[in-house]
Structure 1
Amino acid sequence: MNNISKYISISSNNIRRWLINPRIYILATLLSILLWNYLSPILNFSNSMRYRVTPWIFPFISDFAYTHMMMMFGIVFLFCDAPFMNEGQPYFLIRCGRTQWAMGQVFYIMIGTLIYFLFISFVSILMISTNLFFSNSWGKILGTLAQSTAGQAFNIQLPISYTIQSLYTPIQAFGLSFMLQWCAGTILGLIMFVINVYGKQSIGSIVASVIVLFDIAIEYEFKPYAYHFSPVSMARLTILDPSGLSQRPTIIYACVFLAVAITLLSIIAVLSVHKREIQVLPPI
């Protein structure tokens, strides 16, 4: 229990530094602009049809290849300063030891990713709040956009997937997509942490960016079976095949793959801190 409190102390210290980090405000602004660009036409459509829209937007934002890619690049931008060795970290490193310090950084990546996607979920709901109503169904607006071309007249560029609506309830889709996004984002953060411990900070960001782009590359260059090796791709609901009858990964496979990857990368992250000299780095 004492160890967990130390992990939380280390991770919360990193999160508190967000308040004085201009990079965080830039990221929040860019994400807000991205979301408004895709959600404002849906709000206009809702106002025109005189039907309120339900809040279940996140599964479609996280499923669309472009917005999904930009969200994952946001994770790269958020954790590009891994292994987070600022001027205050030597104190925690000496006080807690390498193992607990490394675990604190792993906790930070997990908690930071959670906050990141909670922010996206909250802002997406906030942007349609002027014409919002809560329901455990998809609602007429999202249902109409999924089953017709009505949105073209309003320049709605965010695809509202009928496949998602037919396979999942709104709560199922939101919960599953949020969990998968969190797992994929955590994996990217851990990969950057491990690589940057051994090399320059830019290398981790480059590798993570390649992993993000691999999702797009599979769609155009590889067979669907390649999705089995793309953690970023497995965070998109329409990539997964619940029936298991196609070459795409199943939900169970994706959950097991992502969980094992997070566990292994967390262990490697802790071991890597023991093997390398960690130096104080300038803020990014």
Structure 2
Amino acid sequence: MTAGVAARQSWSVAVYNFRQWKGNPRIAVTFALAFILCFLLSNKAVQFAQEQGTVMQLVEAFVWTFGDANNILISSLLLVLLFADMPFICEGTPFYLMRTTRGAWLWGQIIYICMATALYMAFILLATSTLCAHNSFIGDQWSETAAMLGYSGAGEAVALPAFVKTLEMSTPYACMATIFLLMLLYTLLMASIMLAVNIRRGQFWGVVSVFLFSLYGLLLNPQIFGQMFSLPQELMYQANVAVGWMSPLNQATYHMHNFGYDLLPRLWQTCLIFGAATAALFWAALRGMKKYNFNFTGNSV
């Protein structure tokens, strides 16, 4: 089989998976929950702007909402529902396996995972921006609302991560694009863990691996790290740097990066780490595919 034929077959598998979305209640529930989540998380920023009588830049609600590690974690966990049946064995699977190789079939699943994850993230961005569109402008400059959140300390009071360095070293659309990329890479890493473990250990352990991965990122934050080891205030900076490198969730958080004056990971380093880890996990899934047992109504293939 030539590479071109295998590539076309892989794309055919990915397209077939998207066709399974039609009439699938699990897909509808996933995106409905994502929209509700966006409404609940972005409501703080919208309410603050309304209370202050100011307007927002169109993507600021997305920037402030998903500049927080906990919100990134919650949104990414919804993909467990979207990818619950990974590696997506259905009635069409025997048809494809008779006409292509296991590797080409799994490449189709990988293409589908990447495209579905990007679509899900785009939906979150669109939903968050739509929810605040009635009180926003599209110009590529920070709003008065952002300035109040960042410079007055009001952002900390209402639990919105509006940091001064974000305002001074980026523009709204550039910041939005970076946060979108970080969320996409983090979520792809989580999905690749789920796929690799599913192929080698089964669906149950695939779901468990995702929750353990998420729990690791949730617990490994500077505040918890400092309290666990009773670190004095002068050592909290070192703890912050250590956690910034050790936790994938913190690496997915925009403000936990080096913008030229500290030892936190730089944005390109995080992208390289996420990309390499995701590629390694997809490779592990492809290797494990050689011994994977396909079960169709009780029979193994």
Residue 173 of structure 2: aligned partner:
171
Shift of 1:126: 0.9
Q: Structure 1 residue 87 and structure 2 residue 91: aligned? A: yes
- C-alpha separation between the residues in 1 aligned to 2:135 and 2:49? 7
TM-score (norm 2): 0.84
Q: Structure 1 residue 240 and structure 2 residue 243: aligned? A: no
Amino acid at match of 1:165: L
Residue 273 of structure 2: aligned partner:
257
Q: Greater shift after overlay, 223-232 or 87-96? A: 223-232
CA deviations on 1:80-110 (whole Å, 9 max, x unpaired) are 2211112222212222211110111111111
- What secondary structure sits across from 2:220 in the alignment? helix
Structure 1 residues without counterparts, runs of 5 or longer: none
Amino acid at match of 1:206: V
Residue 9 of structure 1: aligned partner:
12
Amino acid at match of 2:95: Y
Residue 102 of structure 2: aligned partner:
98
CA RMSD of aligned residues (A): 2.4
Residue 138 of structure 1: aligned partner:
142
Q: Structure 1 residue 30 and structure 2 residue 33: aligned? A: yes
Amino acid at match of 2:165: T
Q: Greater shift after overlay, 176-185 or 117-126? A: 176-185
Runs of 4+ deviating beyond 6 Å: none
Residue pair 1:45, 1:151 contacting (<8 A) in 2 also = no
Residue pair 1:38, 1:156 contacting (<8 A) in 2 also = no
| Residue number among 37, 43, 48 corresponding to 1:45 in the alignment | 48
Residue 225 of structure 1: aligned partner:
242
- C-alpha separation between the residues in 1 aligned to 2:209 and 2:220? 17
Residue pair 1:63, 1:237 contacting (<8 A) in 2 also = yes
Give the 3 Å change call, closer, same or farther, for CA 232–88 of structure 1 in structure 2: farther
- C-alpha separation between the residues in 2 aligned to 1:62 and 1:42? 12
Q: Structure 1 residue 121 and structure 2 residue 125: aligned? A: yes
Residue pair 2:42, 2:65 contacting (<8 A) in 1 also = no
Residue pair 1:192, 1:204 contacting (<8 A) in 2 also = yes
Amino acid at match of 1:233: N
Shift of 1:280: 4.1
- C-alpha separation between the residues in 1 aligned to 2:31 and 2:133? 19
Residue pair 2:37, 2:75 contacting (<8 A) in 1 also = no
- C-alpha separation between the residues in 2 aligned to 1:173 and 1:281? 49
TM-score (norm 1): 0.88
Shift of 1:48: 4.3
Aligned length: 279
Identity %: 23
Bigger RCO of structures 1 and 2 (CA < 8 A, at least 6 apart): 1
Amino acid at match of 2:108: G
Shift of 1:66: 2.2
CA deviations on 1:18-57 (whole Å, 9 max, x unpaired) are 2322222222222222221232343233344443311223
Shift of 1:204: 0.8
